[in-house]
Structure 1
Amino acid sequence: MFEIKEYLMAVAICSPLLFFILAVTFRLLDNSASIFLDHDILLDSAYVSNSLIKKQIEDSNDEKLKKRLKNSLRYRKLHYIFMILAIATLPIVVVIAVLFII
């Protein structure tokens, strides 16, 4: 029983870090600015807003561009989800660690 608690403690401690690494991975996959520049669409900054991406999806006739922009939106949503999970699990891990240490 003690080994299971130790194992769960290790998993609990590593979970925020895992969620953060996944969030960073999806952020790196979201290359919406590069997609716009590849199609000669000029941008003011490196960050492209969701509304601009959605507008470009509606206005574009290029199916390949639409598909890449939709994937970019999916990656961005997954990035947000995993960042929220990383932040939400951090206090839980601290509480669990304190309870197991005491």
Structure 2
Amino acid sequence: MSRTRKAVRYFLRLERGHKSENDLISLADYWHLPLTWQYQLEEANIIAPLDTSLKKLSGGQRARLLLSHAFSLSNNFLLIDEPSNHLDENGYKWLREKIIKNTGGILTA
């Protein structure tokens, strides 16, 4: 299981009041993640709680979320195959703006 998935589980337990000392120790360097995740959801125009399963998101929402994450990796060169797949008109406009504002290189197919 990835660190991010574990962190989500720890944060959800804390939110529900079922914390343990191990949860707190495990989250020592990750307190910023919920705000980062929430920002990525909002920035991608996805209205959903942090614990929403990817399976419950539409194809366009999943595409925007994955692209939002890729764009958040600052100054990286992105190779994106058909990034506008599954995007509606608003999603396409959002993608266009993200590409324009991106400081790293992008190659799309």
TM-score w.r.t. structure 2 length?
Answer: 0.27
TM-score w.r.t. structure 1 length?
Answer: 0.28
Q: Which has the higher strand share?
A: 2
**Greater Rg, structure 1 or structure 2?**
1
Specify which structure has the bigger relative contact order, considering alpha-carbon pairs within 8 angstroms and separated by 6 or more residues.
Answer: 1
Q: Which has the higher helix share?
A: 1
